[in-house]
Structure 1
């Protein structure tokens, strides 16, 4: 074996034995260190996984949605505008959509009600999501009651409960026939909630949106790319908000780690003096302390990342899922697809491992440069 490798191995063996001699202190530091890394890594994994799910879900979303704005509010749009928009060069298809939100006072949750034309959906029948079925404790074939615009209840038969695979987008969803949803929300014929626009060439969407606004000044075109950016911004903001809430705990850890790393005990100073007296160089002592700090920080980092991975992708981030998912009552049940952002994980590594490892070298360098006799008498 090369002499330098043998020297490094011997120093590493001595560093491990030194850590085991002070196992109580090092285990307490390792526990706190691991928990902090696990919380931060959980946030990173969860936010990135939610972003990925949002991109997958919105991959099937319409390329453009056109809404009508009245006094700064979303208002029903005349379906006659669909023909005028369809005549714009580059537009392939325009489909009116009828949907809305229904607040259920019994369960305290908002339902997303959508109208469907055809598709084998009978009158006075509905398709419901898994979250709706759980909240109302109903199943296929049961009846549910929704209060209409007039205040009178409307009874619907549950034709089907949507599969669990689609729960991320259908948990709070109720689908009914177009005549039923128009009666429920008192939306007359000739009006729609919005218009779904598809273009022959997606690169022409900004130009088409500009032409729509030019023809209909009260229209608001919303592109799918804008929705994706909004979702990314929302998840980043919510993740940052949780980090801000945990800032006091992170600051406490920084103070704790700095005190442990920079506060050499009398025993450690005596040990350094003994090592210097038997022929160790200052570089050997620094390498010893470097390996001690590296072992603790790397163990904490890897353990924290593994804990975070299990917490997010096997236990659905149960500690802070309600703060990041965004549903008020009807939380969907689904398992996130593992997604690891190497860049953010690298940033976490540099922010947690390198500062602690570097902090261990400063006091050791000071102790290693003093006279061995003075170090052993201190």
Structure 2
């Protein structure tokens, strides 16, 4: 066996035995260290997985959404605008969309109502998401009462419940016929909530948006890329808020770890003095302490990341899913597809393992340069 490799293996074996002699303190440190990495890794995994789900959902979104703005607020847009927009070069299709929000005072949840062009949907019948069915405790054939704009209840029969596989996008969704939607909200005739625009060439979207604003100054075009950036920003903000809340715990751990790493005990100083007196060189002592730091920090990193992975992708991040999913009452239930960003994992590794190993080696180097007799008498 290579002599250098054998040297490292011998030092590693001694480092493990040295750590085990102080197992109480080291196991406590390892537990706290693992907990912090577990929390941070869980947040990273969950945020990245939600971003990926949002990207997949938005792949089916229209290339461009046109809204009408009145006094800085979103207002129903005349359907006739679609004719002028469709005449713009590069536009392949313009579709009016009818949708809105409905607050249910019984459950305290907000439902998203969308007018559907499904010909199989009967008058005063609705298709609902699994979240709506679960929150309202209804099933196919039951009735869901919704109040119209005048406060009069309208009974809608549940004709279909969307499968749980679509719960991320359809948890709070209620689909109904366009005439039922207009009657429920007393929606003005000849108006739509917004216009969905499709373009033949995605590279022309910004030019098309500029032409729409020029021809219809009271409109606001929203590109698909802007929607994706908005979702990314929202998830980044939510994960950042959770990390801020945990900042005190993280800071406490950093202080604890630094104190442990930099404040060598009398027993550890005596051990270094004995090793120096029996022929160990300073480089050997540094290797020993480096291996001790690597064993603790690398074990905590591997345990923390593995537990975070299991927590997010097998247990749906149950500890803080409500803080990151964003629904206040109606929470969707879905399994996330595992997503691992190598850059973020490497960054977490460098920020968790590197500083601790460095904080372990520096004070050990200072102790190793002291005369062995003085170290053993300290």
TM-score, structure 2 normalization: 0.99
How far the C-alpha of 1:122 sits from its partner, in A, is 0.8
Q: CA deviation at 1:118?
A: 3.8
Q: C-alpha separation between the residues in 1 aligned to 2:340 and 2:171?
A: 26
Task: Classify the secondary structure of the residue corresponding to 2:155.
Answer: strand
Match of 2:158 in 1: 158
State the SS of the aligned residue for 2:107: coil
After the TM superposition, which residues 28-43 of structure 1 pair with which residues of structure 2 at under 5 Å, given as runs? Answer: 28-43=28-43
**Which residue is equivalent to 1:273?**
273
Structure 2: 5+ residue runs without aligned partners?
none
Correspondences of 1:124-203 after superposition (within 5 Å): 124-203=124-203
Counterpart residue number, 1:352: 352
1:283 Cα deviation from its structure 2 partner: 0.5
Q: Any idea what the Cα deviations from partners look like across 1:297-339, whole Å, max 9, x if unmatched? A: 0000000000100111111111111111111111110010000
Worse-superposed segment, 297-306 or 258-267: 258-267
Q: What secondary structure, in the 3-state scheme, does the structure 2 residue paired with 1:69 have?
A: strand
Distance 1:125 1:49 in 2: 35
- Residue 117 of structure 1 and its aligned partner are, at CA, apart by 2.4
Per-residue CA distance 1:335-368 (angstroms, 9 max, x = gap):
1000011111111111111000000111111111
Corresponding residue for residue 242 of structure 1: 242
- 1:282 positional shift: 0.6
Please state how far the C-alpha of 1:4 moved relative to its aligned partner.
1.2
SS of alignment partner, residue 122 of structure 2:
coil
Q: Structure 1: which 4+ aligned runs deviate by more than 6 Å? A: none
2:307 corresponds to 1:320: no
Tell me how large the CA RMSD over aligned residues is. 0.8
Corresponding residue number in structure 2 for 1:282: 282
Question: Aligned pair count?
Answer: 378
**Long gaps (5+) in structure 1:** none
1:189: Cα distance to partner? 2.1
Separation in 1, partners of 2:244, 2:31 = 22
Mapping 1:1-378, distance limit 5 Å: 1-378=1-378
Following superposition, the deviation at residue 374 of structure 1 comes to: 1.1
Partner of 2:31, secondary structure, is helix
In structure 2, what is the Cα distance between the partners aligned to 1:216 and 1:3?
A: 78
Deviation for aligned residue 1:67: 0.5
Note the C-alpha offset of 1:130.
0.3
Distance (Å, rounded) in 1 between the aligned partners of 2:239 and 2:233: 10
In the TM superposition, residue 263 of structure 1 has moved relative to its aligned partner by 1.2
Structure 2: distance between partners of 1:32 and 1:328: 31
Q: CA deviation at 1:188?
A: 2.6
Once the 2 structures are TM-superposed, how far is the Cα of residue 119 of structure 1 from its aligned partner? 2.9
Aligned mates of 1:201, 1:82 — CA distance in 2 = 19
The alignment partner of 1:290 has SS state of helix
TM-aligned CA deviation for residue 29 of structure 1: 0.4
Q: What TM-score do you get using the length of structure 1 for normalisation?
A: 0.99
For residues 190 and 57 of structure 2, the distance between their equivalents in structure 1, rounded to whole angstroms, comes to 30
